[in-house]
Structure 1
Amino acid sequence: MPGQRWRLLPSLVLGLALLGLAPSVPTASVSAAVQAQQTTAWEPYRYFSATGHNISFDVKRFYERQGDLEVFGLPLTEVIWENGFQVQYFERARLEIHPENKGTDFYILATRLGAVAAEGRQNEEAFVWRTGPSYEGATFYPESGHSLGNGFRDYWTKYGGLYTFGYPISEEFSEVNAEDGQTYTVQYFERARMEWHPEHAGTKWEIQLGLLGKQYINRMGIDQNLLKPALEVQKLGSATTYYRGSNAERINNIKRAADRFKGVTVKAGQVYSFNQNVGDVSEEAGFTDGYAIVDGKLEKVVGGGLCQVSTTMYRAVFNSGMPIIERYGHSYIVYYYENILGFDATVFVPDVDFRWKNDLGTDIFMWTDTDTSAGRVTFSLWGYGDGRRATMEGPTYSNEQKPGKPVWQYDKTLRRGAVEQLVHGRAGMDVTMYRVINKANGTSNRERFFTRYYPWEDFYLYGPGVKPPAGVTIAPPRYP
């Protein structure tokens, strides 16, 4: 492939933490099992075709966590700047981004639209401050002088209570809805107005929020161009890999490294380097020891598991159709990636890198999601796509070579009589796959990806008092 550098690295493999804990499984069966699993990773963008707007990142997380469409309604704008800070309008709310609260639950807050809508009504009966509950069974809030009960209390509690809606600032009363001219039982809160819709009794729409976001837009007279449909932020490509069976050190490293790519912007035309952007991979930065093959021996190195992250990024980039500039396959088959052989990318700072290019005319946004309990890491790329679609052909296998004699290595730090199998042997083979990129203009191109895996023997560590069996290869002691 033009622009790619290929080099075999038989003496170096990263990301192999405690591989012996998982037995060898035939490639076809692993592939079927993994492909059947449904990825449930959270995605950072969502597009609403009904209004032509996107929600993203923390706004999307708040929106979905606190009630989604049935609470907030459809988005009416993108995130926009207003009076010096960022907001996004919805039919029933206006969400504010508060950078001073970054990293807390108060980073996204709903505007006090209920209080705005109730301005000047403090002398009306329903809004007059009380000193105690208005009726039996109601919950009284002395902070705002009003009570809450019945279906409104259930709804308030279900969707986040004080955090989402604020305190009640009125009692229940009847009011004409300006949108449809109908009279409903309503109650005002600092950030919302709740309405009881008996025509939807028994459904999730029985209690609804008033359209205060839409009404505030009309009241403020914001630029109508902001309401026009925006381009959809599309998922250009994604990939998920699994690391069940990994030890705690490897899991720690995978999460730390993957989190460093969350929310990254790859500028239009930029060549993106994994090594240049992963940052400090050291014990001081929180990374721990993991196993790797170095000069033909299994050794512990800081950052074991990093190749799980680079491989997942590579697969997402491959699936997006972005150009691959530099990629190296592992020298040995790694069981974490056996679902698709030849679909991995090893890295070793600073020489062995994975690099790709954003050849779109617009930026690409990268997102990662790790679920340590499920043993899963997901990469996804988002942007304004140009219609290209990438598909894989293969992989095909050739030149299979069986592993040689098992390798035993003495480790004086093990307990007396201990034997640990760290690697289950793998055959060597050549693996070829192709990527076909079909473009919106009807043209296509086909790229070849080749990986040569060397045979890998069973590998054991043994402690004091253990005599290796006959016929094995004895490696130099791990600690002379």
Structure 2
Amino acid sequence: MHRSARLITILFVLATLFAMPHIPTAAAQGEPFAFFPQTGHNIGMEVKRFFDANGGIDVFGLPLTEVIVDSSGMQVQYFERARFELRPNNSAGPTLSLSRLGAMITAGRTEPAFNWLAASPDPSRTFFPESGHTLGGAFGWYWQSRGGLPVYGYPISEEFEEWNPEDGQVYLVQYFERARFEYHPEYAGTAYEVQLGMLGKQWLAGDPLAVAATAPATPMVLLGEATTGFSSSASERITNITRATEMITGYVVPQGVEFSFVNVGDFSEANGFVDGYAIVGGRLEKVIGGGLCQVSTTLFRAVSNAGLQITRRVGHSHIVNFYENILGFDATIYTPTTDFRWRNDSPATVYVIGTVNRNTSRLTFQIWGNSDGRRVTYDGPHTKNWTKPGAPVWQYDKTLPKGAVRQLVHGRSGVDVNYYRIITFPDGTVRRTNYVTRYTPWEDFYIYGPGVTPPDGAVVIPPRS
């Protein structure tokens, strides 16, 4: 080849490469969060997992907001080409789906391309009776290879030419429930021959709350964490701790939103919870979900350490061995009447990550978000009015073997506790919270089987039902 011809070829290739759409690279898959400096926004947890698994930036574009509560009251996160919807209060744990932006944006359009078809006029195209439209060619290949029905939904139009407000050009397009496909002949033969329209950006423009949320954030940082142990717990209690943590991990709490433990989901046998011991009416009783207080206490400590606003916290009625490393720093939960609640008063969305390590018998919660520089310190615990426990309590349990005795509670004193949290903000403002707890004395508690006589001086209570 002549030297000048080679030079022209090289210049043409370089020009083609530089003309390609610039697709920045997201953070490594498997990490819980990714920050995109191009727009100044984060994606995390369930959103990031779905984003990574279904094409990333090529399919969804860059994030335009953090997770927010939109004008309809729904938790959403906007991307250039899509909008993710989060549903935190689900029995299986937080879930998400993609908004039907294609259907929402084209609602009411009557052009021939949107007319419902009874069958495909072209046997080479796939017909979808569910939506009355067909799919084929480059759009069909893209749909099949880049996510299909779960990502884009059914076709809701045929192919037709449409003016694109983003660049003022006319493209061959086809609408789907959640997307608009655009054919770009200038990239024929490349991965960008078919591109998705900017439906997320288009829909965002009509939501003032979303527009305000486009202001750049900062990368996610660890705001606070806490760990408690459960080495002496029965298997039933560990099952409940694990199940509740599974339901909470990945929880997203947008700015200004209040988290309610009771409203996390269904803490029932049908949802995987089992009988476990819990304090009920001052006694240790078996109830469905026994052990939830370990989860609520650990989460409370993490939220408190993050400096977030605690809106409802009830201490335990007795000192519990799992938490007495810091007196007055626990939060009981008893659905549906006794709740633990907190509000995200930080600058942006926060994420909750919970892990259960059965090998080390440790439960950990972490709170991730954007820091505004607040610092948390504690004063205490300060104790007074110590009261010794009374006579031991014995209770018959017919399910125990003959002659069996089990001590479920080792008696401990009662005490009044004040534990102060001090939050110092960058401007010097100080917020002080007093966690007040009144622990009543707790007697030694035994259960016994057939053939056992409680000792003299014991308080014998009615048998277990």
Task: Report the secondary structure of 1:399's partner residue.
Answer: strand
Contact between 1:250 and 1:290, CA under 8 Å: does it hold in 2?
A: yes
1:381 aligns with 2:367: yes
Residue 340 of structure 2 aligns with which residue? 354
Quote the offset at 1:235 in angstroms. Answer: 1.4
Aligned to 1:318, which of 295, 300, 304? Answer: 304
Contact between 1:327 and 1:355, CA under 8 Å: does it hold in 2?
A: yes
Aligned to 2:358, which of 344, 367, 372? Answer: 372
Quote the offset at 1:434 in angstroms. Answer: 0.6
Residue 387 of structure 2 aligns with which residue? 401
Residue 264 of structure 2 aligns with which residue? 278
Aligned to 1:234, which of 221, 225, 232? Answer: 221
Aligned to 1:339, which of 321, 325, 331? Answer: 325
Q: What are the superposed Cα offsets for residues 352-387 of structure 1, whole Å, 9 maximum, x if unpaired? A: 111111123422222211212221111111111211
- Counterpart Cα distance in 2 of 1:284 and 1:334: 28
- The count of corresponding residues between Structure 1 and Structure 2 is 294
1:44 aligns with 2:44: no
Contact between 2:46 and 2:250, CA under 8 Å: does it hold in 1?
A: no
| Pair 415,266 (structure 1): closer, same or farther in 2 beyond 3 Å | same
| Pair 59,283 (structure 1): closer, same or farther in 2 beyond 3 Å | closer
Contact between 1:240 and 1:377, CA under 8 Å: does it hold in 2?
A: yes
Quote the offset at 1:274 in angstroms. Answer: 0.9
TM-score for the superposition, normalised by structure 1: 0.54
Q: What are the superposed Cα offsets for residues 170-218 of structure 1, whole Å, 9 maximum, x if unpaired? A: xxxxxxxxxxxxxxxxxxxxxxxxxxxxxxxxxxxxxxxxxxxxxx99x
Residue 13 of structure 2 aligns with which residue? none
Amino acid at match of 1:258: T
Q: How does 1:91-240 map to 2 (within 5 A)?
A: 231-240=218-227
Amino acid at match of 1:231: T
Residue 87 of structure 2 aligns with which residue? none
| Pair 390,274 (structure 1): closer, same or farther in 2 beyond 3 Å | same
- Counterpart Cα distance in 2 of 1:420 and 1:238: 35
| Pair 55,330 (structure 1): closer, same or farther in 2 beyond 3 Å | same
Q: What are the superposed Cα offsets for residues 272-311 of structure 1, whole Å, 9 maximum, x if unpaired? A: 1111x32111111110001123334432100001011111
Contact between 2:224 and 2:366, CA under 8 Å: does it hold in 1?
A: yes
- Counterpart Cα distance in 2 of 1:78 and 1:270: 21
Contact between 1:400 and 1:428, CA under 8 Å: does it hold in 2?
A: yes
- Counterpart Cα distance in 1 of 2:256 and 2:80: 31
1:417 aligns with 2:410: no
Amino acid at match of 1:326: R
- Counterpart Cα distance in 1 of 2:319 and 2:309: 25
Residue 247 of structure 1 aligns with which residue? 234
- Counterpart Cα distance in 1 of 2:80 and 2:432: 47
Amino acid at match of 2:229: Y
| Pair 420,44 (structure 1): closer, same or farther in 2 beyond 3 Å | same
- Counterpart Cα distance in 2 of 1:445 and 1:230: 24
Contact between 1:44 and 1:367, CA under 8 Å: does it hold in 2?
A: no
Q: How does 1:282-293 map to 2 (within 5 A)?
A: 282-293=268-279
- Counterpart Cα distance in 2 of 1:437 and 1:230: 22
- Counterpart Cα distance in 2 of 1:328 and 1:345: 5
Contact between 1:78 and 1:230, CA under 8 Å: does it hold in 2?
A: no
- Counterpart Cα distance in 1 of 2:36 and 2:387: 53
Q: What are the superposed Cα offsets for residues 109-160 of structure 1, whole Å, 9 maximum, x if unpaired? A: xxxxxxxxxxxxxxxxxxxxxxxxxxxxxxxxxxxxxxxxxxxxxxxxxxxx
What value does the CA root-mean-square deviation take over the aligned residues? 3.6
Q: Which runs of 5+ in 1 are unaligned?
A: 1-41, 63-76, 87-98, 101-215, 221-228
Amino acid at match of 1:44: P
| Pair 81,445 (structure 1): closer, same or farther in 2 beyond 3 Å | closer
Quote the offset at 1:45 in angstroms. Answer: 4.0
Quote the offset at 1:84 in angstroms. Answer: 7.3
Identity of paired residues, percent? 54
- Counterpart Cα distance in 1 of 2:293 and 2:332: 5
Greater relative CO (CA pairs within 8 A, separation 6+): 1
Aligned to 2:243, which of 242, 252, 256? Answer: 256
Residue 181 of structure 1 aligns with which residue? none
Task: Report the secondary structure of 1:314's partner residue.
Answer: helix
- Counterpart Cα distance in 2 of 1:59 and 1:292: 35
Task: Report the secondary structure of 1:307's partner residue.
Answer: helix
| Pair 230,292 (structure 1): closer, same or farther in 2 beyond 3 Å | closer
Task: Report the secondary structure of 1:412's partner residue.
Answer: coil
Aligned to 1:430, which of 416, 427, 449? Answer: 416
Contact between 2:355 and 2:363, CA under 8 Å: does it hold in 1?
A: yes
Quote the offset at 1:248 in angstroms. Answer: 1.1
Q: What are the superposed Cα offsets for residues 370-416 of structure 1, whole Å, 9 maximum, x if unpaired? A: 21222111111111121111111111211111111111111122111
- Counterpart Cα distance in 1 of 2:41 and 2:257: 27
- Counterpart Cα distance in 1 of 2:251 and 2:362: 20
Quote the offset at 1:56 in angstroms. Answer: 4.9
- Counterpart Cα distance in 2 of 1:320 and 1:268: 14
- Counterpart Cα distance in 1 of 2:309 and 2:406: 42
- Counterpart Cα distance in 2 of 1:438 and 1:240: 23
- Counterpart Cα distance in 2 of 1:431 and 1:247: 29
Contact between 2:381 and 2:418, CA under 8 Å: does it hold in 1?
A: yes
- Counterpart Cα distance in 2 of 1:405 and 1:450: 27
Amino acid at match of 1:404: G
- Counterpart Cα distance in 1 of 2:260 and 2:31: 23
Quote the offset at 1:57 in angstroms. Answer: 4.0
Residue 437 of structure 2 aligns with which residue? 451
- Counterpart Cα distance in 1 of 2:235 and 2:228: 17
- Counterpart Cα distance in 2 of 1:418 and 1:83: 66
Query: Structure 1 stretch 281-290 or stretch 52-61: which is displaced more?
Result: 52-61
Task: Report the secondary structure of 2:271's partner residue.
Answer: coil
Quote the offset at 1:316 in angstroms. Answer: 1.0
